[in-house]
Amino acid sequence: MTIEDFVGCMADASGEDFSQFMRWYSQAGTPDIDAHGEYDYVQGEYHLTLRQRTPATPGQPDKLPLHIPVRMGLVGTKSGQDLTLTLNGEKIGKDAVIHLREDEQTFVFTDVAEAPVPSLLREFSAPVKLHYPYSREDLAFC
């Protein structure tokens, strides 16, 4: 069985389109993810922006965006506890997978009671290089 056969079976079973996922097998290189977060104290929202890029490799100077699953959570800076995630009006728990499919996407989490620190790529959810400006204070809670 080839990877194409396996992914085809997964697509048939789930009804999902895996064509973007297959770029992991057709494009060389390890993607970089630049992450940036901002907390809106007035609205109680956390905006997480993820930007992906895969460096040029011989014969592949330009890369298309990959489908990158990112398991994540938000840790409260006051409580040190995982916060409940609400994305697009839906409570999705304290640990969830978000899907980065574009060059850049912003995910807006609502009902965030305190300033959080993002906990990204939990359980090694994707083989990427993450760049986030964590501070020493941030890491005390993770």
Condensed to tens digits (0 to 9), the pLDDT of residues 74-91 reads 999 988 999 999 998 999
Kindly indicate the confidence band of residue 124, based on its pLDDT and cuts at 50, 70 and 90. Answer: confident
Condensed to tens digits (0 to 9), the pLDDT of residues 30-49 reads 999 999 999 999 999 999 99
| Residue count of the chain | 142
What are the extents of the domains in the chain?
Answer: 30-139
Exposure string over 26-63, b if 16+ CB within 10 A, otherwise e: ebeeebebebebebeeeeeebebebbbebeeeeeeeeb
pLDDT, position 136 = 66
Range in 50-64, 104-118, 123-137 the model is least confident about = 123-137
Q: Which fold has domain 30-139?
A: Immunoglobulin-like (2.60.40)
In terms of DSSP H, where are the helices of 23-116?
23-26
Give the pair of three-digit tokens for residue 115: 């300033």
pLDDT, position 137 = 63
Close Cβ partners of 49 (under 8 Å, ≥ 6 residues apart)? 35, 36, 37, 104, 105, 106, 107
